[in-house]
Every structure is written in structure tokens, then in C-alpha cells.
Structure 1
Amino acid sequence: MNETHYANGITAQNLRAILELWEQMVPEIEETMQTIIEINDKLFDKESDSFGWCHLYELPVKDHINFNFPVLLQQDQMVAWRKQITESPGKIIALPDVAKQVDDHFETRDSLTEEEIEALRPFLHDYCAYFYSIQYSLLCLLYHGCFLNELIDRVRSGNDEALFDAIRIDPTIIGCQTVSDRISKARRLRDDVFLDKLRKTQSGVTAKLKQANFQQMRLILRILSEAGATRLSNDQLYRLFVEELKLYTANSAGGGVEKSLRKFANTYMKQYATT
């Protein structure tokens, strides 16, 4: 039986590889965050220990992602990896292979010399800011099917719910000029409805949004949207999420599964394409 192509040559096997890569990345991200905490005193002195990253959320997603790594990586190496990704079907299929190349690169390279470590020091703020902002933006993708940058863009258009969603993911986002201006306006006008909702954001992301399978489904729909898919049929949704990726169970009678998948896809499969 021929494999189903869901968008621009992307098959369920391709998507499965992306999910496996993400499952590998999650503990690595957590380990990196813990390592930064443990060696914080070695990285920064008292004068350089305070810095933020919320300004990066004001950038378009494409500009945010295309970060260069002075000293650690040569520009031509970054260009080569990005080219592999952008020239692959859906601009995503090569990602697992490129991720392995990146791992191999750092595993085989020599340890940094004292001179290289000192050369890195001026860029440590940028590195850490990029790491944290990308991590939280990826969480936003899993929870809401879009990047934090896109939530901020909706805030500019007057969407207060996007503001509350963004703060629940990364409270430092209050430092964004767009968010700060909206909160200041609410304070100035004594908008108690808005301010009450703002206070409730301290409860964080709801348990429903944190459900692992739904996170992966949002990620898949975003990948397919980026690859040019605008809509999957009910049969395609069922085959992809129930039969092939097994992220949704077929235990509802009377067509409940198809209806639920259709609603989910209509909610998260929107035109957010950035590349």
C-alpha cells in the first residue's frame, strides 16, 4: 500500500521521526537549563548576572529562529545545515538528520581553548537569551499551535486572550513593549475586567493544554501548515492521528472521533506559515 503524503511529500514516517526527535530534545533542554543554573557563577559576575530575552518575542519568527553562534560555529556550517532543511520536503524532513549532524559536530570537536572561552564571554547573554526564548516559544507551539512571537503579534492587533496565553507560558513576556503598553493602558483606564484576568494568569497553563498527545498533535498540524497544507480531510486526520501516529484513540461511538479531530484541526491548522 502506498504511503499517504499529507503535505509536500511528507509522510507519517517523516512525522514520526520528528516526534521522536522532540522526545529526545525535551530531557536535553531540561538538562541544559539545570546546567546553566549550576554553573551560573562561572558564567556571569554580579554586574552581568541580570539580563532578559523578552525583546526576542517582538521579532518575526523567522528572524528569531535564524540566530548565529559566534565562536561555537562557523557561519558556513550554519548556512549548510539551514540549506539542508530548507531544501528538504516541507522544509522539515531533514531536521532529524541535521540534528544528528549537530550532535556529532559537538561530540567530535576539541574542547574549547582558554582563548575561545574568553572570546565566547561577550556572547553569553545572547546565547542564553536565545536558548530560553526558543524553549518557551516551542512550548507555546505545543500548547497553542503557534510561536510566542505570533501571540505577541496578535496582542498588537488587540487580542487580549493572546496576551494572557503568552504570560502563562513565560511571565517575563510582560517586559515586551507591546505587552507593557497594553497593561499600562488597562491601568490608566482602570479596566478591572482586563486586570482581573491578568491576575488569574498566575495559575499557569491548564492541565488540558499540557496533555502530551495533544501537544504532539498541535506540533504535527503546524508542521503540515508550514509545508503548505491548508486542510486535511476527515479520512486523512483519522488515518494520521489514530492509525499511523496513534496519538488519538478510536473509542467514541457515533462518529465522535471524526468530529473531535475535525474540531481540533480547524482550531490549530491555520495559516501561520513563516518560511
Structure 2
Amino acid sequence: MQKQYGKLTADQFREVIGMLPEIRYQQAELSEVIVQMSKEKLNALLVRGYSWGEIYEYSFIEHVAIAVVAFNYADTLSAAVRTDDPQRYVLDHRDPSQDDVGTHPAFEKQALVGLAFSLQRTILSVMLFQRTLSGLIQEVREDDNMDSLFNAVRVDRTTMNCTTIADKIDRAEMRQDKHFFIRLRNALKGPTQKHWAAYCDLRYSLFVLRELGFNSLSDVQLEKLLVQDLKVYPNTPSARKNLRAQYQQSRKIKTI
């Protein structure tokens, strides 16, 4: 089957982006459930010291692979690759609860909660910065990129449990680096209004394009996809110029 965007048809691409409102709702819903949970129930769920932050030291592919096993989704993916359109199959079976497959017995409840939170935070990271949290941590680890460090903390404070970030904090403490801790304090406040106000769905769309390997779309193609088909950017006279700038910037980011 010939597809307009590599592994996705235009309709499938639209469906992927159309999932974002539901993902945002699920993020808020899960957080609200935990916030409203009594201390006793939370202690029963998190039976001993646990943080999912270290998961971001893995690559995004490894992160997803762990989740696939934990949520018993491996059989679904195996079935998908045997079909003529694996992406269509995955989209039709994207909710493991639909197939009542349960979870893998090797994973404790607290680990499953951590995986759910970490995947949601990763999607938020993509919508804000066009990078997964694993990608941000990699940039800190390999390039000593402090902007990526503070962006990671903005999205998920548990990233401070990552060995990579903990090492930077230790070094800053030894050097009494006040500027570092001022930036860290600001990052702990979470995403700013500037981050939220920007085009989150557009960033996510550009991320998907990049990972699909589409690095040479024309201005006309960009406008058709992002303005007309996906509707993640307003139809304005400057749309082509602005989308080109966003697209060029996105192409500079490493793929996962």
C-alpha cells in the first residue's frame, strides 16, 4: 500500500494527531487520581522507595519496549507485523485494555504506575520541546547541554533521579554554582506559560514527521499537511514562511 508519509497515510497521520486531546485528558485524570488518593492507599501502592526517573537513562526505544512488555502489548505488535498494514492494526488496537490482556506478572503495580507516568511525561516533552525525555537526557550526557537538563526537569522533576542529572547537580554543588541552582529552581516550577501557549500539536506533528524520515517537504506540502489536513497551524498569509522555519529547526534535532 502506497502511503503519503512513509508508514502512515494522511488519514492515519490525522488519527495520530487526533489522539492528543485524549492523551492530555488521561494525563490530567491520572494525576488527579493520585492527588486525591489517601496516604494509606498511596503507601499500599508504592510499597517501597521507587522512582521512575531512571527510566529516562534508557533510549526512547528501550523505554517503549519495557512498557510493551509490562502492559502485555508484545503479542499485539507481533500480530501487527503479520498484517498488510501494521500501522492500521496498531491504531485499531492501541488500547491494551480493549483486548483485556492484563499486565505482565513480573512488574509490580508501582512499576506500572511509573511507566504510565513516564510515557505521559515523554509525550508532554515532545509537545513542548520536540524531544523525548530520553533524548533530552542524552543531550545532557553526550553534549553537556544544560538547556536540555533544565527542560527535562521542567517536564518531569523525577529526572533529577537520573544518574546523568544527579552528576551535574553534584558537580554544581561542589563548585557552589549559584547560577546553576537558580536555573534549577526555575525549572522546578514546571513549564512556563510561554511553553504552554506555543503550538504543542504542531511540535508533535513535526516530531512524527522527523521520525518518519520526511526531511524534504516543500512549502506547499507542509501547508497542506499541517494547515489543511492536520489543522495544527492557523491558515494565515505567513503560514508557509513560519512553517518552513519550524520545519528547518525540527530537522536539526536528532532522531530517536
In which range does the TM-score fall when normalised by the shorter chain?
A: 0.7 to 0.9
Gap change, CA 1:177 and 1:39, over 3 Å in 2: same
TM-score (norm 2): 0.83
Offset at 1:9? 4.8
| CA deviation string 1:71-122 (max 9, x = no partner) | 974xxxx33322355678997554421215x24213xx7xx9xxx9xx9697
User: 2:10: which partner in 1?
Assistant: 12
Amino acid aligned to 2:112: Y
Alignment of 1:206-221 (within 5 A): 206-211=192-197, 214-221=199-206
Distance 1:32 1:245 in 2: 27
Backbone CA RMSD of aligned residues: 3.3
Distance 1:72 1:64 in 2: 12
3-state secondary structure, aligned to 2:246: helix
Give the unaligned 5+ runs of structure 2: none
Q: 1:105 aligns with which of 87, 92, 99?
A: 99
Amino acid aligned to 2:109: L
TM-score (norm 1): 0.78
Gap change, CA 1:241 and 1:71, over 3 Å in 2: closer
Preserved CA contact (<8 Å) 1:57 1:64: yes
Give the unaligned 5+ runs of structure 1: none
Alignment of 1:13-52 (within 5 A): 13-37=11-35, 38=37, 41-42=40-41, 44-45=43-44, 48=47, 50-52=49-51
Amino acid aligned to 2:180: F
Offset at 1:63? 0.9
Alignment of 1:92-241 (within 5 A): 92-100=87-95, 102-106=96-100, 123-156=108-141, 157-211=143-197, 214-241=199-226
Q: Give me the identity figure in percent.
A: 23
Preserved CA contact (<8 Å) 2:56 2:63: yes
3-state secondary structure, aligned to 2:94: helix
User: 1:62: which partner in 2?
Assistant: 61
| CA deviation string 1:36-65 (max 9, x = no partner) | 453763464398254211110111111111
Distance 2:26 2:181 in 1: 37
Tell me which structure has the larger Cα radius of gyration. Answer: 1
User: 2:52: which partner in 1?
Assistant: 53
Distance 2:122 2:213 in 1: 21
Distance 1:171 1:133 in 2: 11
